[in-house]
Amino acid sequence: MRVVISAVAGFFLMWPLGYVYGVLHWPTFHSWGLLHGGFFSAWPTLSILTFLALGYVRLFPAVEDTSLLIVGLVWGLLLTGFVGIGPYLSASATYGLLAITAAIVAVLNFFARHRLGLTLLVVSPIMFLKMEFLLGLMSPRLREFKFMLDGVLRAFEGVKWPLIFAAIGYGVGSLARVIVKRPPAPV
């Protein structure tokens, strides 16, 4: 029941998302962007966000690190909105966003119990936006290994830098946790 509610709510949450992005003149997830491919990233991300938020309702069990996962997912959605127009951003703006991603992932990982899952959740909206990565695996020419490998490597190019910076944040957060000797939060 929770998954169905999340999927339906994620679909309907795209309208307020498109409105907010349109009013703020932000790229990728405004109404036109959602109609032209942005929904491939927005709908699953908003569904995951709804699934996590439903943990605050008494009827559904909470997921560990819910608030940290929600913060990471919201940042991932914001990052995807701007990285989605990558060719139009300057190099300094792109690397600034990626550095902020590393810092946010490091801080969230310092407090999180499931650090790797949180790190991957932050970059998941970008992976959803770059669906060629998954579509390359489902090609009818799948038997041709060279074609499949070329498609996956080309699609991975769009995900590579956010994934690298998120991994850097994961490493920094884990190192800080070891240095401070902070044990995982009690259940």
Q: What is the pLDDT of residues 45-54, one digit of tens each?
A: 999 999 999 9
Angstrom distance (rounded) from CA 163 to CA 120: 8
Of 175, 51, 66, nearest to 118 by C-alpha is: 66
pLDDT of residue 32: 84
Q: Are residues 132 and 153 in contact, defined by beta-carbon separation less than 8 angstroms?
A: no
Is 70 exceeded by the pLDDT of residue 25?
yes
> What pLDDT shows up at residue 104?
96
Count of domains observed in the chain? 1
In a domain, residue 55? The reply is: yes
pLDDT tens track for 106-151: 999 999 988 999 999 999 898 888 765 555 555 555 555 566 566 6
Q: Which contiguous run of DSSP H or E holds residue 104?
A: helix 91-111
Residue-level pLDDT at 119 = 93
Confidence check: pLDDT of 22 > 80: yes
| Within-domain flag for 151 | yes
Domain that holds residue 79: 2-180
Burial 162-171 (b: 16+ CB within 10 A, else e): bbebbbbbbe
Q: Please give the Cα distance from 16 to 13 (Å, whole number).
A: 6
Q: Is residue 187 in some structural domain?
A: no
Identify whether 158 is part of a domain.
Answer: yes
User: What pLDDT score was predicted for residue 96?
Assistant: 93
The answer to whether 68 touches 109, Cβ cutoff 8 Å, is no
Amino acid at 51: F
Q: What phi and psi, each to the nearest 5 degrees, are found at residue 148?
A: -65, -45
pLDDT value of position 145: 58
Residue 74 within a domain: yes
**185 within a domain of the structure (yes/no):** no
45 neighbors 128 (Cβ within 8 angstroms): yes
Q: Is residue 78 in a domain?
A: yes
Q: Which tokens hold the place of 127?
A: 């992976």
The share of the chain scoring above pLDDT 90, in percent, equals 45
> Considering the domain boundaries, does residue 186 fall inside one?
no
